[in-house]
Amino acid sequence: MESKIEFSTIILAAGKGTRMKSDRPKVLHSICGNPLIKYPLLAAKQAGASNAVIVIGHGSEEVRLALKDEDVTFAVQKEQLGTGHAVMVCEEAIKVRNQPVLILCGDAPLITSETISDLVQRHTLEKNSVTVLTADFDEPFGYGRIVKDGDELVRIVEEKDATPEEKKLKEVNSGVYCVDATYLFDSLANVGRDNAQGEYYLTDIIKCGKDAGVKVGWSKVSDHDEIMGINSRQELAEAGHIMRLRILDELMTSGVTVVDPQSTYVDNGVKVGKDSILDPQVRLEGHTVVGEKVILETGNIIINSKVGDGTHLKPYCVITESELAEETIIGPFAHLRPGSTVKAKGKVGNFCEMKKSVLGAGSKVNHLSYIGDSEVGQGVNIGAGTVTCNYDGYNKYKTIIEDGVFIGSGTNLVAPVTVGSGAVIGAGSTITRNVPSDSLSLSRPEQKVLKDWAKKRREEREKK
């Protein structure tokens, strides 16, 4: 049961999702950084799916766009005539007829590749024509019920068509099936619409199979969360919570400390190295990669960024599309906007902002500063309140600060400008021209002292 069996998969994604009360197709609502539909697609491919067909209808162009980078085929369901009809429109897209076809729901993101592999393996080993994935629910309302005779599956009855006795059954249909391709489309040709919904039920292939004398089997999933379908915002939040805890559990198993899983948010696909620590309210999004022995204190938000080994992010930093080399120190309350790079042992301190800039190895910008469109060399010290003035209202200009420069507090560097290596800029200066290496530059007006001026002013006010 170890080797993978190749199969095709059909993923049903044509529904509107009325209860979501949204203009967006239901399968494009996201949990943990990905639209719902990507999860069953990924699980199927990990389990061995060689051909994936996505059934689209409502919002079809949006779904196509969301999956433009995936190796899939689309089948259009122009009329919403039920799950059986949705599979019918895939007939031309299923080219290989000697493989099983796995049918999944695009709004059920929690199914795992392990469950899919087990289902396909059982289907093949038992030589079934149809195998249904089932689950037990204490409160099965809304699900189709599994009707058995002993251990043999007899039929599936939908909630709206079930008798009072059938509604008491706890074992339900997951909406996931493994079906021999030839049997699938032959049986669907005999399915009608004589039911409460007036639709072509995919579940009727079970009855067709029993009538035809083919072998029909079932496989029960132990965790019924895996078959959870998303039909409301409440269920979207619940599924997101379950997925998030799965992701965090995997991280903890791999050697990452997650101080409070209930308040930590990590997207699917984020990577975190061992011995790193995620404090409460940390959020890691997109394709973020965090190295080993990293400390992320409370409230950090990191989006599509790379964080090097041994880095320490103090509380409440926002890092977007940026790269931090090893042993950098960031924050608290620092903001690194897209295109920022901090090299090894660099430091960006409290209430500092960087944008589209490079801070060289061992350089520091510790307090209340803005570094935009800049190249900062190694061993540079940038004093509190320094601003690179990079915008003239029309265009952005570059500031270059070479190795070993000392920038005094309260300095304005008006770009385009270069400060040569080893130079010193006096505090409070506004620098508008290039500064040669190893020189001192300052632009303060001469300080004046008017002796006893304040005393005389107070005396004059007291006379009034």
Distance between CA atoms of 106 and 12, rounded to whole angstroms? 5
Distance between CA atoms of 289 and 46, rounded to whole angstroms? 22
Helix 204-212 crosses helix 181-188 at what angle (to 10 degrees)?
100
Helix 38-47 crosses helix 113-125 at what angle (to 10 degrees)?
50
- Cα 110 to chain centroid, rounded: 14
Distance between CA atoms of 312 and 310, rounded to whole angstroms? 7
Burial class (CB in 10 A: 0-12, 13-18, 19+), 460: exposed
Instruction: Specify the pairing of strand 30-31 against strand 100-105.
Output: unpaired
Q: Which amino acid would we find at residue 370?
A: Y
List residues bridging with 180 in a β-sheet: 100
Tokens of 156: 């599936």
> What are the distances in angstroms from CA 215 to CA 185, 191, 411?
16, 18, 81
Nearby residues of 168 by Cβ (< 8 Å), 6 or more positions away: none
Distance between CA atoms of 278 and 281, rounded to whole angstroms? 8
The DSSP element (H or E) to which 173 belongs, if any, is strand 171-180
Helix (H, G, I), strand (E, B) or coil at 375: strand
Tokens of 71: 């190796």
Catalytic residue numbers? 367
Distance between CA atoms of 335 and 370, rounded to whole angstroms? 10
Sign of the CA dihedral 190, 193, 196, 201?
positive
Distance between CA atoms of 96 and 91, rounded to whole angstroms? 10
